[in-house]
């Protein structure tokens, strides 16, 4: 009797239908970004930043609208990315950061422009802090291929 019940339960378990849950990835179009954010992304790419990501925080945060997250392979590159963003935003759009943190150690440089914040990490620091996981409920920005293709090629070498 017990064996029959066990076999019946086993059959029911095996016949259970699998359920697939599709999570819709709602992306913000690149064209929706302000010129300052676009320029900061292009500057990051020009200085060979890797793993470039833009996160749209408008629906879930009030302190800023976007995060740009980028990685450099070492402290010098992290500083070079930061310098290029600061220089070009100042030169082309007359925009300066409200606050800069972490420049001297260059493990994680934060450039706060008010409406957006740029986070430039050295590889190990980025893995440790994992901002993308912390802000996973936010929408991602659909970056153009010229930013992501060169980005992906750099990571494979």
CATH number, domain of 60, equals 3.30.460.10
Residues 6+ apart with CB under 8 A from 18: none
Q: Do the domain assignments include residue 150?
A: yes
Domain annotation covers residue 66: yes
Residue 154 confidence class, pLDDT cut points 50, 70, 90: very low
Domain count for the chain, please give it: 1
In this predicted structure, the answer to whether residue 2 has a pLDDT above a threshold of 80 is no
**Rounded Cα distance, 8 and 10, in Å:** 5
Query: Which residues, 6 or more positions from 19, have their beta carbon under 8 angstroms from its beta carbon?
Result: none
Element (H, E) at 27: strand 27-29
pLDDT tens-digit series, residues 27-49: 999 999 999 999 999 999 999 99
Which pLDDT score, from 0 to 100, does residue 156 have?
Answer: 43
Q: What is the pLDDT of residues 45-104, one digit of tens each?
A: 999 999 999 999 999 999 999 999 999 999 999 999 999 999 999 999 999 999 999 999
Q: What pLDDT sits at residue 94?
A: 96
The closest alpha carbon to 55, from 113, 132, 148, belongs to 132
- Identify whether 115 is part of a domain: yes
Please indicate, yes or no, if residue 2 is contained in any of the structural domains: no
Chain-centroid distance of CA 55 in Å reads 6
Whole-model pTM over 0.75 = yes
Output the pLDDT for position 147.
83
The reply to whether 55 falls in a domain is: yes
Asked if the structure places residue 94 within a domain, the reply is yes
Domain that residue 126 falls in: 26-156
Does some domain include residue 116? yes
Whole-angstrom distance, CA of residue 60 vs CA of residue 70: 21
More confident residue, 52 or 4: 52
Residue 14 is assigned to a structural domain of this protein: no
Q: Please report the pLDDT score of residue 153 as a whole number.
A: 46
């Amino acid at each position: 009797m017990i064996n029959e019940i066990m076999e019946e339960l086993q059959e029911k378990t095996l016949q259970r239908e699998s359920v697939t849950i599709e999570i819709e990835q709602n992306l913000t179009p690149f064209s929706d970004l302000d010129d300052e954010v676009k320029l900061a992304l292009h500057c990051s790419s020009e200085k060979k930043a890797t793993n470039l990501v833009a996160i749209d925080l408008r629906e879930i945060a009030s302190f800023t609208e976007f995060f740009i997250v980028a990685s450099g392979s070492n402290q010098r590159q992290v500083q070079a990315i930061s310098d290029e963003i600061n220089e070009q935003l100042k030169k082309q759009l007359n925009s300066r950061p409200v606050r800069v943190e972490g420049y001297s150690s260059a493990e994680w440089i934060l450039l706060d422009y008010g409406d957006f914040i740029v986070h430039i990490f050295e590889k190990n620091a980025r893995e440790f802090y994992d901002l993308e996981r912390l802000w996973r409920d936010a929408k991602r920005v659909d970056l153009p291929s010229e930013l992501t293709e060169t980005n992906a090629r750099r990571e494979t070498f």
